Amino acid sequence: MRIRELIVYRVDDNEKLLGDMAYIMDCFEKGAQSGKKEELRDTFYGCMQGLLELGGNHGFYGNLWHCYLTNLLVNHENSYSRSTEIVGAIQGTINEAVLHDIVIFKELYDYDFSLILEELNVQGFELVMNYSPSTEESKVYNQRIKERICSLAKRFNENNTPEEMKDTLTDFYKDYGVGKFGLHKAFRIEENDNGASIVPILNIAHVNLDDLVGYEIAKKKLTDNTDAFVQGKKANNCLLFGDAGTGKSSSIKGIANAYYEQGLRIIEVYKHQFKYLNDVIAQIKNRNYKFIIYMDDLSFEDFEIEYKYLKAVIEGGLEKKPKNILIYATSNRRHLVNETISERENNMHLNDTMQEKLSLVSRFGVSIYFGMPDKKEYQNIVRVLAQRNNLGVDDATLMLEANKWEMSHGGFSGRSAQQFIDYMLGKQ
């Protein structure tokens, strides 16, 4: 099989399963299988084992050979897939090179294994061709991504020509993107010897902005800014500040879920990783997605200097911040950097010190306040959450227990209301 002739979709030599399958197919195409049947049989069973492992780890179902090839295509980042992600079909010679490769993938996809199975006396291959997983969960993808890959594999099976298969793949890139940025919503930073790697978060909480009861003005300010950003208009960095447990972090998760289909991705960065911000930006600035670099619970003590990295990245360095990147941060503090008593008492340099620290906040063009609800608002949150969860407790009892709960669990907040509802559900 002609995998060595691939141009754009070159496959890594470490992709042993594809190499082994191609070797077996080549031997049969050239009629060179006669003296190698034991070797080929052993290799083929090894490929079957690899496909079954793929099904178990990824949660794939149906024809695992097709799912395997599809998984290679949706994860292959190259000049074509990166150009067509989110924007769709492009012009140019690259289309001819891609079609050349898809012809080869179509041959792999449509390969008839019957002669191999017969001559090598292979048993059990039907398990690979019609696989049913033991669990719907995937160790690699969430349910949504897994379903999309399996569905794409089925659509490829319906394509009669390489041209149709290429169009189907291009449509997938347009709708969902390619590789880790295309398939996942949220990411974190992992430090390694080469600096920083951006790795997917597999199980982001599926929070909707509507799940956050109240805070309509705050949510509208956040969505208005994010709408402008994903549409390519001018938008600002955002600081969500206010009391603990009021939904700041949940709002960011809601944004990640609401705007994923429009090409928005979230990258969470911790304070000790700020030194890698330039490295992270270099990895994402030329992609067709919109990225929010997310910093949760952001605050600095007077002895910490990481905020200087952040200031330089947001605004002030020689290199202009790319248009496809914004920074969203949450904090319980309005001014982010703590001010010490000694600084207040040193009047000589008080203004310089305050300007240094306040200049970080000023780099967030939009500041959104999330305040602690009063008793009436807290009770309304409890009622709405109880109704959503079909709690089935009369209002008088619900309010009595909710008021008892908040007195010993951090006061009035959306978080304590949700914890109270979880407690009541647990009792049932």
Averaged pLDDT, 381-395? 88
Q: Which residues of 130-147 are buried (b: 16+ CB within 10 A; e: fewer)?
A: ebebeeeebebbbeebbb
Identify the pLDDT of residue 338.
56
pLDDT of the residue at 19: 94
Which sign does the torsion angle of CA 31, 34, 40, 44 carry? positive
Nearest Cα to Cα of residue 57 among 260, 186, 202? 202
Query: CA 328, 409, 400 angle in degrees (round to 5)?
Result: 120
Q: Encode 267-306: b = buried (16+ Cβ within 10 Å), e = exposed.
A: bbbebebbebbeebbebbeebbbbbbbbbbebbbeeeeeb
Mean pLDDT of the chain: 87
pLDDT of 263 > 50? The answer is yes
Nearest to 26 by CA among 6, 51, 2: 2
341 — pLDDT class (breaks 50, 70, 90) = very low
Q: What is the pTM of this model?
A: 0.82
pLDDT-based confidence at 151, cuts 50/70/90? very high
SS3 276: helix
**DSSP for 238-249, written as a single string:** EEEEESTTSSHH
**Sequence-separated contacts (24+) of 386-393 with Cβ below 8 Å:** 386/421, 386/424, 389/421, 389/425, 391/421, 391/424, 391/425, 391/428, 392/428, 393/424
For residue 190, count CB atoms less than 10 angstroms from its CB and return exposed for 0-12, middle for 13-18, buried for 19 or more: exposed
- What pLDDT band is residue 203 in, cutting at 50, 70 and 90? confident
Q: Average the pLDDT over 246-266 and give the result.
A: 91
Q: What pLDDT is recorded for position 310? A: 74
pLDDT tens digits, 79-137: 999 999 988 999 999 999 999 999 999 999 999 999 999 999 999 999 999 999 877 77
DSSP state, 372?
P
Under 8 Å CB-to-CB from 238, ≥6 apart: which residues?
Answer: 222, 225, 326, 327, 328, 329, 364, 365, 366, 367, 368
| Average pLDDT score over residue span 327-351 | 61
pLDDT of 178 reads 94
Judge whether residue 31 has pLDDT over 80: yes
Q: Across the chain, how many H-helices and E-strands are there?
A: 19, 7
Strand duo 195-200 + 238-242: pairing: unpaired
Check residue 343 and give its pLDDT: 47
Is the model more confident about 227 or about 35?
227
Cite the DSSP H helix spans in 76-113: 79-84, 94-109
Who's near 202: CB < 8 A, 6+ residues apart? Answer: 140, 141, 142, 184
275-305 per-position pLDDT tens digit: 888 899 999 999 999 999 999 888 766 655 6
